[in-house]
Structures are given as structure tokens and as C-alpha cells.
Amino acid sequence: MTAPRFVGKLRPTQIVTTFGPGAIVDLPTRSVVVAGLEWWSGGASIYEPRLQNLLGVDELRRPPRPAKGGFVPCLEFPRWQVCGRDGRMLRGQGCPEHRFDAIYPARLIQACPKGHLDEFPWGWWLHRGAQCPGDLRLSAGGRSATLADLVLRCTGCGRERSLAGATSDRLGIRCQGRRPWLRTDDTTCDADPRGMLRGASNVYFPLAISALSIPPWTNPVQEKINPVWNLIADKSELDLRQIHALMFQNFSLDLFLEAVATRRGITAKASPQSLKAEEFRAIASGSAQSDSEFQVSSVQEPGNQVGLVGVRRIDRLREVVALKAFTRIDYPDRGSTVAVNEAPLASVAVDWRPAVENRGEGLFLMFDSAALAKWGATDHPSAIARSVEAAFHEWRTARGLGPATPPTPAAIYLHSLSHLLIRQLSLDSGYSSSSLRERLYSEGDAAGILIYTASSDSDGSLGGLVAQSRPSRLGPLLEQALAAATVCSSDPLCSERQPRGGHLSAAACHACLLIPETSCELGNRFLDRGFLVELQGITSRAFPSWRAPIVASG
């Protein structure tokens, strides 16, 4: 077996959140697709029992590192290449007349909504199925950089055709079910493939799921149990006593047995909602907690905010992010562990998933859920919520998604306020908006917002975020955020926007409420600053007597 040849580098976080198995990576001299998990070698274990249970796997692993003897394999894709000197199209071999550095990967590929990936049908595009032994040449007109300016020509029959329309919704051919990252094909695919640019953003949508480490899973005995859990999971009490005497002498027997019983209590498969419910209880309990991965304490809330019932500063938190699957063309339904047309990461069953762990700090705001529910039943929020529900149903139907519960007015309210705070915190905390993330708690009786920063290095815990939890800072910060929401530079177009079609927000745009996609839990959907303040200049939906439950009282 020949030694692996290293063709490029990626950060571990990129492999989990951007370039997992099935993703195309552009390197300086070639284009490759990351191979399936069964081909990966190495990678240290990461333990987060709640997330492992949610994904139904025994283990989470860091992406392998060459320095540790591991590697992430990849395969050259697309195989079609173009000679930059004369436009000659080549399939998997160098140009016989020119140097290798004159060759570059073809710009177009073929993909389908079920996750399959294939070479663009260059010969079919030009000849429409007819056979011709001539070589293909690709030339640019030099007038623009669009596909319409690229012309494909056959040296045998002289036929020419531009690439205009090559990225349309349907190519008119049948998908062959190719999965080059797995080296296997799916012969049952009946989807219509479409041509796509090799580097298009919708070629690969990762379905990454995260969880925060909370007690009791962060206490020392649980951390020591993690590496050997598979060995002790089904042991009898007598065996456990012997294991305690050999490996867990630093802990009392009762504490060890209690930890094992707690771990065995994870029986039913969790859901993202149940994970969040546990996190909300752990953070909102009000009691100060501190261990190696979780440190939270209560802070006095600013007195001039109606409806804000609790503030927590989280000086230390740990987030584990794992890659479950991916989709192409249509992005996955965030907040769910089941994606539409979910594509596999491996061709065989594997009991692990790639993951990374991030550490940082956070600011948690808890609200009066009863006040939010009562307010949500009033005219303005309920009317907008009905519009969101109709647009949400239309959006899911167009993508072949099953029915789902639309967000409540309280959920839209919390989401909109979270975005306002992130935008304001980016001015006051020392972190950019792309470094801050949100975690929303709006299920059942929960009503809270966690804004946190987490990274794989020390940049996630510089203290600038928790410093904003002091009443002298948090009060003015909330007032400034709400004041900024009253007017948008895109008004009145922004303030009068209604949810419809693929747009699932009301008064929200890049100038007032949207934040980087990586910071938002819901893909910048379900937003309306009109839920927070009375907008200026509204003509189509004025509610003079309306007042939000969480506003500055003075």
C-alpha cells in the first residue's frame, strides 16, 4: 500500500461545518471531493453523551490530523479538466502538449436533490446523445465572465454551443445516482439532475447538530466514565464494585454507582427539543454552578426592563458540534435531525460521527413565558404569526417537506430580540457578529435567549461578552438595541414586508435585523422587528395601541 499523498489542508472545524464527506474542496492546483467516513484514519475521541444519544452513535471523533498519524482521504473530482492554453477538454489525464500547471478543473458539475454528484455531461450537452469521435474544446468570448460567453466546440463535427442555461433546474437527462465520495452508486434515483458551478454554495449543505455540556455530564466522575463506558455499560453491580476498586478509587462507591445509573438512564433517543429543555433548566436554575466545563451564576437584571425575569452570566461553556449528514440543492430543515433527501456520510454503517468541541462564554436572558404567551394572542403578533404559518406551509410544500409546527409569536419575538442583541453586542463586547451565536429556548414553558461565543482556541473566552451582563451595561444595551429597531434604512420597504413565498420573515433585512448565517439557528428566518417596537412610517399594519411585553419602561 502506498503512503497517502497530502494535497491540502483544512481546519478541523471546516471539516465538520463546511467540507465534510461529499463536499468539493478547491485546492490551488486541483479539485477534490472528501471521501466517506469508512476511509478516514485516526481522530481522537470526543465525549458528549447527550449528543451521542441524539445521533444514535457510540462515539464522536475529531477530524484526523496528519501530525497524529491520521488523514482525511479525498478523490479527484471532477475528472474533466480544461487546458488553459488551447481550451482542450481532458478527462483524467494531463495535456500531452502543455505542462500540468496549465490544466484546471472544469467549472461545471452535475448534482441532484437526493445528494448524488456526477460529471457534467459535456458530450451530451453539445451532441444531444449523438456519437462523435472529435475532441471537445472550451473557449471564452472575452466579453464577460458569464457562462453564456463560454462556447463548447467539437473538433470532429464542428458543432458549437454556448453554456448558457447549463445551470438551469433540469438538464433533461436521468440521474445515474453517482456517489464518488463513497465509490458506490445508487441505481434507484429518479430525480432530475441539474448543472451547477463547481463552487456553488448549494452543492453542499452540512447538517451539523450541537449540544452544550451541562451537569451532571460535566462532573469529574462522568468525564472519567466516558472513555470506558462501552466496557462497563452492561456490567452487574458486583462487577462495577470491582471496577470501582481498580479504576475509580478517587471517587466514593456511591458516587460512582450513581453516575453509572445516570448514564444508563439515557435510554429513549433524544430530540433537539429535549436537549434544549435540559440546557434551559441547567442554566435557568438560578443556583451558581462551576466545574471544568460549565460555570454559570445569576446576575441582577436591569430594573427598567419589563418582562425580563433573569440574567445569567456563563463564564465557561463547552459546545460539541457533530456532523450527521448533508444535503444538496435544498438546505436542511434547521432544528431537526432529519433532513430532506439526506445524503449519507459513509457507504457502510459506522458507529461514529466527526465532531469538534468549542469553548467560550455566554450571556443568558430569561423572560416571563406567561406574559409572552398572553401577548402572542393579541391582534398584531397573532396576525403576523398567521402570515408566517401560511408562508411556512407553502415553503415546506414546495420542497417536499412534511408538515411541521410553525413558530409561535413568542418564538418569533425571542428570535428577533436575539438578532438585535447580537448586532448591538458586536459594537460593545469586542466580538464581531460572526463570532457570536444564538441558542433559542421557546418550547413549552421555556423562554430564553443564550448569546454565546465558542471557538477551538482561547478567542472564545476573552470576557467581553459576560462583562455585558452587569445591570449598568445590560440596561443601556437593551435600550439601544430596541431604539435601533424602530427605523431601518430600507424603510418603508422593510417595515411593510409581509411573509410570503420563500420569504419567512416580516420586517427584517440586512440593514436592520439579519446576522451572519453561521450565527443564526434558523437561517435568518422567522424575524420581525415589528414584534419588538412600534415601527415608524408603517401604513399597512399600524397598531397604535400595541405594546410589546419586553420594552424599556422609562
- CB-based contact 32:7 (threshold 8 Å): yes
- CB-based contact 33:73 (threshold 8 Å): no
**b/e map 214-226, b = 16+ CB within 10 Å:** bbebbbebbbebb
User: Which 8-state DSSP code applies to residue 513?
Assistant: T
Phi, psi of 81, rounded to the nearest 5 degrees: -130, 160
Of 224, 254, 226, give the one whose Cα is nearest residue 241: 254
Q: What amino acid is encoded at 550 in this protein?
A: I
Find the angle CA(485)-CA(550)-CA(527) to the nearest 5 degrees: 45
Q: Counting beta carbons within 10 angstroms of the beta carbon of residue 453, is it exposed (0 to 12), middle (13 to 18) or buried (19 or more)?
A: buried
Find the angle CA(222)-CA(225)-CA(229) to the nearest 5 degrees: 130
pLDDT of amino acid 463: 73
pLDDT by 10s per residue, the chain, length 554: 455 567 778 888 889 989 999 999 988 778 999 999 999 988 889 999 999 989 989 899 999 887 666 788 899 999 998 888 888 888 876 556 656 567 889 999 999 989 999 999 998 888 887 778 788 999 887 677 788 889 999 888 888 889 988 887 677 788 899 999 999 888 888 888 999 999 898 999 999 999 999 988 888 898 899 988 888 888 888 999 999 999 998 999 999 999 999 888 876 566 777 889 999 999 998 777 778 889 999 888 776 666 788 899 999 999 999 999 999 988 776 544 445 688 999 999 899 999 999 999 999 999 988 888 888 888 778 888 888 888 888 888 877 777 778 889 999 999 999 999 999 999 888 888 888 999 999 988 899 999 999 877 655 566 789 999 898 899 889 888 988 888 899 888 888 888 887 788 988 999 999 999 889 988 899 999 888 887 765 443 433 333 455 544 33
How far apart CA 428 and CA 314 sit, in angstroms, is 18
pLDDT of amino acid 206: 92
How far apart CA 445 and CA 449 sit, in angstroms, is 13
> Cell 391582534 appears where?
379
pTM for this model (two decimals): 0.87
How far apart CA 438 and CA 515 sit, in angstroms, is 10
Of 270, 353, 311, give the one whose Cα is nearest residue 468: 311
pLDDT of amino acid 378: 82
pLDDT of amino acid 424: 94
Strand partners, 343: 326
> What's the Rg (C-alpha) of the chain?
27
Residues contacting residue 36 through CB under 8 Å, at least 6 positions apart: 21, 22, 181, 182, 183, 344, 345, 346, 347
Q: What CA–CA distances, in Å, run from 315 to 294, 362, 366, 454, 465?
A: 8, 7, 17, 11, 9
How far apart CA 4 and CA 20 sit, in angstroms, is 19
Of 143, 158, 284, 268, give the one whose Cα is nearest residue 214: 284
> Cell 500531452 appears where?
96
